[in-house]
Chains A and B, each alone.
Chain A
């Protein structure tokens, strides 16, 4: 158990809908990351937050947004969902925001868009 929690574990929704994925980092970790894992794209970095502020951004679609709250939990919002958004979404956390700190991953949320 990494100490990172993610809810829900599974999510099935229809195209055009909006969903929110939730993540709680390990105790003491200030930085939160979101990654998408799909068969065609592999594991891709979406976005990083550090202590409530956006820190780095990857190839995150404009339909996706995220935030980190004062209690350090984070939410990833996915809207106008398409079939291609079906994937495993991981949250990770680390102590600091810069390169070199190992990231601990949550169990993931499997999103299925039908």
Chain B
């Protein structure tokens, strides 16, 4: 069965520091998809990125970057020069490609990031 582990429950940083969120996943499927979502204090879940298992290219979007390493089953997320608005809970999630799975997301436990001014 699939599993996503986010070992860090809470990270506290001072504004402008970089912060890296770890995500480790388990799946028996050879084709799968990884996601990151942000849940700000207002409560909604905001989609940040999707990565396919066959595409190991890292991605950068503004201050956000993602490092996908299939060899270690990890999909880590770095916020560069953090800002107070980055304070939120961040979730890593996995979906599998086999038909019976539909498109269900398996979420990690989340990492709460607190950015202090």
Q: What is A's interface to B at a CB cutoff of 8 Å?
A: 2, 31, 33, 35, 42-45, 48, 50, 55-56, 58, 88, 90, 92, 94, 96-108, 110
Instruction: Tell me the complex Cα distance, A106–B33, Å.
Output: 21
Q: Which one, A45, A107, A110, contacts B105 given CB within 8 A?
A: A45
Q: What is B's interface to A at a CB cutoff of 8 Å?
A: 31-33, 35, 37, 43-47, 50, 52, 91, 95-107, 109-110
- Nearest Cβ distance between residue B98 and chain A, in whole angstroms? 8
Closest partner residue, chain B, to A104 (CB atom): B47
Instruction: Tell me the complex Cα distance, A50–B105, Å.
Output: 15
Q: Which one, A42, A56, A105, contacts B104 given CB within 8 A?
A: A56
Instruction: Tell me the complex Cα distance, A97–B45, Å.
Output: 19
Q: Which one, B31, B52, B103, contacts A103 given CB within 8 A?
A: B103
Once A45-B105, A98-B103, A100-B33 are accepted as A-B contacts, the answer to whether A105 and B45 lie under 8 Å apart by CB is: yes
Residues of A within 8 A of B98 (CB): 99
Closest partner residue, chain A, to B50 (CB atom): A102
Residues of A within 8 A of B50 (CB): 100, 102
Residues of A within 8 A of B97 (CB): 98-100
Q: Are A99 and B32 in contact (CB under 8 A)?
A: yes
Closest partner residue, chain A, to B32 (CB atom): A99
Residues of B within 8 A of A96 (CB): 103
Instruction: Tell me the complex Cα distance, A110–B110, Å.
Output: 19
Q: Are A88 and B43 in contact (CB under 8 A)?
A: yes
Closest partner residue, chain A, to B34 (CB atom): A100
- Nearest Cβ distance between residue B34 and chain A, in whole angstroms? 10
Instruction: Tell me the complex Cα distance, A31–B97, Å.
Output: 16
Residues of B within 8 A of A110 (CB): 43
Q: Which of A50, A56, A100, A104 has the most CB of B within 10 A?
A: A100
Once A105-B45, A108-B43 are accepted as A-B contacts, the answer to whether A99 and B91 lie under 8 Å apart by CB is: no
Instruction: Tell me the complex Cα distance, A98–B31, Å.
Output: 12
